Amino acid sequence: MTTTSPESPIKLAVIPGDGIGPEVTDEALKVLDAVAPHAFAVTRYTLGAEHYLATGEVLPDSVLDEVRGQDAILLGAIGGKPNDPNIPPGLLERSLLLRLRFELDHHVNLRPSKLYPGVGSPLANPGEIDFVVVREGTEGPYTGNGGAIRVGTPHEMATEVSVNTAYGIERVVRDAFARAQKRRKKLTLVHKTNVLVHAGSMWWRIVNEVATEFPEVTVDYLHIDAATIFMTTDPGRFDVIVTDNLFGDIITDLAAAVTGGIGLAASGNLNPSRSTPSMFEPVHGSAPDIAGQQKADPTAAILSAAMLLDFFDMSEAAERIEKAVEADIAERDADRPRPTAAIGDAIAARV
C-alpha cells in the first residue's frame, strides 16, 4: 500500500512482521497519522514467518534494494513461534532482521529508558530513571562468524566469534560521547574486560582516546554482570551507556523491565550519516504467547515512531507523542487492561 501526499512526504517502509508486530505497528501508524498527517508515504512489506512459510522467501535482494531506496523503516517484530520445526533456528532473526541492520549499516542502536510518572517499576525505590543505551549494532557475536563441527556426536563443538573492529567501536563510542555531552555528561562503558580481554582492551582504549575530545564528560566503567546489579539497585546512576551488540541486547531488556515493562521500550537502529534508511522498532520481539489477542502494549512501537520523527527533526511532533504517552500512562489501571487498539486510539486522540 502506498499513500502519497503532495508535499514531498518521507518515504516510510513498514514491515509489520510477526506475532504482535502487525498489531503494534497499526497503532504506531495510527498515531503518526494523527500527529503528522500526510507526512509519510507508506509502503508495506510483507516479510516474516508467515511469508517464509508460504513462499520460502526471507528477504529477497530485490526487496532489500527497494527498502534501501526508502527514507526510513518502521518495523514491528520478526520471529516465529519458538522451535517451529518448519523454520530453521534463527533464520528470520539473522537473514531478515539482522540483515537489514547490517546491510543498512545501523551501527547505532539507540535504546532510551525512562521511568514515566505513575509507571509501576518492580524496584522498591526506583528513583528517577532516565538513561540511553547506545548499543553497537553491526558487530559483536551477531555477525554470524562461527560454526559447528562433529554435529550430533559427543565431540560436537560450536563457536560464535565476536567481531570487534576499531572502526566499528570508534564510531559508536563517538556517537555515545556526543549524546552524553548533550545530556548529563556521564558515559558508562559496559563490557567484560576482565575476561574478554582482546575486545575489552580495544573498547576501553578507544573510549579513553575519544574521551579526550569530550573533557566535560565523566567516564565510568562497569563489567556487564555488575551493571545488571546497578541497573536494579541504582539505575539513576546511568546517563549514557555504550556497549557491544550482545551486552546491549541483554541489558536493554533489563532496562525495559525496571522502567515499567518491555511494552514501553522503544528503539532506533540508526545510520546517523542518513546514507541509508534508519529503522525504528520496539525493543521487544514478536511475543507469540500473546499474539492475535489484542493484549500487546503498543506504547513501545508508538514511542519508536516518536524517535523516527525526532530523527527527521520533527521534534515538536515527537514531543507531542511523548506527552500523550506520558498522560496515557499516568491514567492506566493495571487491573483494567485495554486492548492494543484502544491504547493506540487513546494516544492518537491525545496528540
Ligand X SMILES: CC(C)CC(=O)C(=O)O
Q: Is 79 annotated as a binding residue?
A: no
Q: Does 84 bind ligand X (CB under 6 A)?
A: no
Of 23, 239, 244, 249, the residue at the interface with ligand X (CB under 6 A) is: 249
Would residue 249 show up in a list of annotated catalytic residues for this protein? yes
Q: Give the separation between CA 19 and CA 289, rounded to whole angstroms.
A: 9
Count of residues interacting with Mg ion (CB under 5 A) = 1
Count other Cβ atoms within 10 Å, centred on residue 254.
16
77 assigned binding-site residue: no
Residue 225, marked binder: yes
Q: Is 64 or 290 the residue whose CB approaches ligand NAI more closely?
A: 290
Q: Catalytic residue at 192?
A: yes
Applying CB under 6 A, among 28, 36, 98, 347 the residue interacting with ligand X is 98
* 296 annotated ligand-binding residue: yes
289 contact choice in Mg ion, ligand NAI, ligand X, none (CB below 5 to 8 Å, kind-dependent) = ligand NAI
Residue 206 contact partner, candidates ligand NAI, Mg ion, ligand X, none, CB within 5 to 8 A by sort of partner? none
Nearer to Mg ion, 249 or 322 (CB): 249
- Taking residue 145's Cβ as centre, other Cβ atoms within 10 Å add up to 13
For residues 193 and 162, give the distance between their C-alpha atoms in angstroms, rounded to a whole number.
Answer: 14
* Local structure of 84: helix, strand or coil: coil
Cα 349 to Cα 201: distance, rounded to the nearest angstrom: 50
Closest approach of Cβ 96 to Mg ion, in Å? 15
Q: Which of 220, 269, 265, 261 is nearest to 240 (CA)?
A: 220
Going 253 to 256 to 260 to 265, the CA torsion angle's sign is: negative
Cα dihedral across residues 242, 248, 254, 259: positive or negative: positive
Q: Which residue has the cell 511475543?
A: 287
Please identify, using beta-carbon distances, which residue of 19 and 320 lies nearer to Mg ion: 19
In whole angstroms, give the CA distance from residue 230 to residue 258: 11
- Per the annotation, the verdict on 244 as an active-site residue is no
Residue 135 known to bind ligand: yes
What is the C-alpha R_g of the chain?
Answer: 20
Tell which one of 84, 93, 160, 345 touches ligand X (CB under 6 A): 93
149 is in an annotated binding site: no
Residue tagged active-site, from 142, 175, 244, 328? 142
Q: Nearest distance from residue 311's CB to ligand NAI, in Å?
A: 18
**79 neighbors 18 (Cβ within 8 angstroms):** yes
Q: Is 116 a catalytic residue?
A: no
Please identify which of the residues 244, 249, 310, 328 carries the catalytic annotation.
Answer: 249
Angle between helices 299-311 and 21-35 in degrees, nearest 10: 50
Catalytic residue among 192, 239, 244, 310: 192
Catalytic residue list contains 225: yes
Select 121 or 286, whichever has its Cβ closest to ligand NAI.
286
Closest CA relative to residue 171, chosen from 105, 127, 117, 218: 105
Min. distance of Cβ 38 from ligand NAI in angstroms?
28
Rounded CA separation 49/90 (Å): 11
Q: Which residues bind ligand NAI (CB under 6 A)?
A: 20, 24, 77-80, 93, 97, 262-263, 281, 284-290, 296-297, 300
Q: How far is CA 108 from CA 79, 80, 310, in A?
A: 22, 26, 15
Q: What is the amino acid identity at position 97? A: L
β 130-136/240-243 pair status: parallel
Which of 283, 343, 346, 347 forms a contact with ligand X (CB under 6 A)?
283
Q: Is 150 annotated as a binding residue?
A: no
Task: Answer whether 180's CB lies under 8 Å from 239's CB.
Answer: yes
Stretch that binds Mg ion, among 89-97, 244-252, 318-326, 330-338 (CB under 5 A): 244-252
Is there binding between residue 249 and Mg ion (CB under 5 A)? yes
Q: Which residues are catalytic?
A: 142, 192, 225, 249, 253
- Binding residues vs ligand X (CB under 6 A): 93, 97-98, 249, 283
Annotated binding-site residues for Mg(2+) read 225, 249, 253
- Binding residues vs Mg ion (CB under 5 A): 249
Annotated binding-site residues for substrate read 101, 111, 135, 225
